[in-house]
Structure 1
């Protein structure tokens, strides 16, 4: 398994090997401890800047050597140890960045000359998983998402940067506000549950509040906007226009589950859930029988695979245009 994990970290693992790791890592709470151990091992391997010649090769060589030494010392714990090497197919790379964050409100102190060791959690196209931050905050990352956060939060400051989609359960600390920066808004919280969607291909960046209270800063606005539970704020990246909507926040965190189960539900409900599961728009033309009831379970199937199934059991046709699904009657 060690060889497969190293191959995955190096980007050389096959789809079958990735699936083996995925199935192996579904061990519940044990995954949370994984991140701390990975961080420690990467740090022990050295915090050389990633721009240095041969950094990646040297880091992997040191990491592999350390894993091998640990294996020789604790043969009887080999299996339990290797299960902690990676979690939810996340890649954690440690790199030294001087002023990686440069938020519009200067939350990320670009003037600081002190280098911070930063962690980068990356989810691939078909992967999603959870990351535990140094303060105990848990972040679920959706597919094609990147979270950058410091190895240790500075006193009174908890700053992270998100590209893609993340659901945050923030550990409350009134003395250290938690700030999430995207390229279209900054979210400030003390302790709450909320979802942020910041995909580069999308025209808008969104924050949806599940519980608690968050403060949102937008470009060009002198004052912040306070969200209440079951509210979503959307901001257009190009012109800065924004709108505040009342929503069912639970819809926006459907994707954090291992599977989506629909039991004897209307086609309209299934399509609504698929919209949030796949983060795609769904449009139905006139004549679609939305009251038809059906049951299905979605795990890691692509939208195309599920729509093919629906077309077999329902009188519908479908087309996919980028991030939009169009349903029409058969």
Structure 2
């Protein structure tokens, strides 16, 4: 596998067959994996114009991070992890006792979890799992970890309706005569044909709907429907019973389906929840100060060990692994 082919894979410029062949090559031998990480590091670094021509670039970013802490209010710290440093370090780190249990290329299972007597199909994913599902109309859904999708074996003549618990990315086949509706807690999302993301876990305080392409309507009770435009996210706060619209980078929101987690001023407590779902681990925050932290950064197909290393390098966070449980605390003197 040459460098040009690996760069095409990194840029997501391959079809499914080429991707699978590349992944098989990477996994075939540790030297292949090392070469891939090095090419990826070089590519990531080449995309940053402000990186100094300094072989000790890791220390440069760490110093810039420390300086950014001093300039901010002590009440809330913003933790930044540079993508290039993450990838560079991933070449050197060992996997340790935890491994990344999510495949880079998600499976496309044709089987179902369970078929019920009412004709509905219930598809469930566990922690650390991610699956592709194809509906009877040809629509594609990527179901995130700890999620459930309920849909009929066959859609009726006038409506395509599904129920989601958890998170999923929807790529819906257009049919103006058969609207597609997602039931998610107290919200209904209505579309004709579009791509969008819904995050609606039972234990979360909010429901998030992000539009990537097309148009969707949010319907709550008998209220007037709210129409989203591409790159808009609707956030419904359950306890306050209120809905807010904000502008986002939609491709960052749906990066999870490609194995990446991207955070933008996200409370560390929410970051931990996403890490637990993705890596099938238990993480405890043993510091009141850390609850006030917000994190901005990208974890690009890293193992949980690499994620923990990044946290300790890019922030005053320490960790320990005891009885398969990860504990976090602050290291502020």
TM-score by length of 1: 0.55
Residues 259, 248 of structure 1: alpha-carbon distance in 2 compared, 3 angstrom cutoff: closer
Post-superposition offset of 1:27: 7.4
C-alpha deviation, 1:198, in angstroms: 0.6
Partner of 1:226 in structure 2? 227
Match of 2:248 in 1: 247
- Superposed displacement of residue 296, structure 1: 6.8
Distance 1:326 1:188, change over 3 A: farther
2:116 alignment partner in structure 1:
95
Q: Where do 1:176-191 residues align within 5 Å?
A: 176-191=178-193
CA distance in structure 2 between the partners assigned to 1:175 and 1:215 by the alignment = 16
Question: 1:141-160 residue pairs with structure 2 within 5 A?
Answer: 141-160=143-162
Taking the aligned partners of 2:219 and 2:299, their CA distance within structure 1 comes to 40
CA contact (8 A) 1:284 1:328 kept: no
Which 5+ residue runs of structure 1 have no aligned equivalent? 1-18, 39-90, 98-116
Does 2:320 correspond to 1:317? no
Aligned counterparts of 2:211 and 2:331: Cα–Cα separation in 1: 33
The alpha-carbon deviation at position 235 of structure 1 amounts to: 1.2
How big is the shift at 1:126? 1.1
Q: Report if the CA contact (8 A) 2:148-2:165 is conserved.
A: yes
Structure 1 ranges of 4+ moved more than 6 A? 274-277, 325-328
Q: CA deviation at 1:316?
A: 2.4
Q: Give the Cα separation in 2 of the matches to 1:183 and 1:307.
A: 32
SS in 2 for 1:96: coil
Displacement of 1:246 in angstroms is 1.1
Q: Give the aligned partner of residue 298 of structure 1.
A: 301
Conserved? CA contact 2:140–2:172, under 8 Å: yes
Q: CA deviation at 1:160?
A: 0.1
Q: Output aligned runs, 1:249-268, within 5 Å.
A: 249-259=250-260
Matched, 1:235 2:250: no
Q: Which has the higher contact order (CA 8 A, sep 6+)?
A: 2
Distance (Å, rounded) in 2 between the aligned partners of 1:169 and 1:186:
17
Deviation at 1:313, TM superposition (A): 3.6
| Cα pair distance change 1:204/1:150, threshold 3 Å | same
C-alpha distance in structure 2 between counterparts of 1:295 and 1:155, whole Å? 43
Q: Distance in 1 between matches of 2:153 and 2:230?
A: 30
When residues 284 and 171 of structure 1 are mapped into structure 2, their CA distance, relative to the original with a 3 A threshold, is same
Q: Displacement of 1:143 after TM fit?
A: 0.4
Aligned residues: 214
* Structure-2-length-normalised TM-score: 0.54
CA, structure 1 residues 189+276, in 2 after alignment: closer, same or farther (shift >3 Å)?
farther
Unmatched 5+ residue regions in structure 2? 1-98, 278-289, 321-327
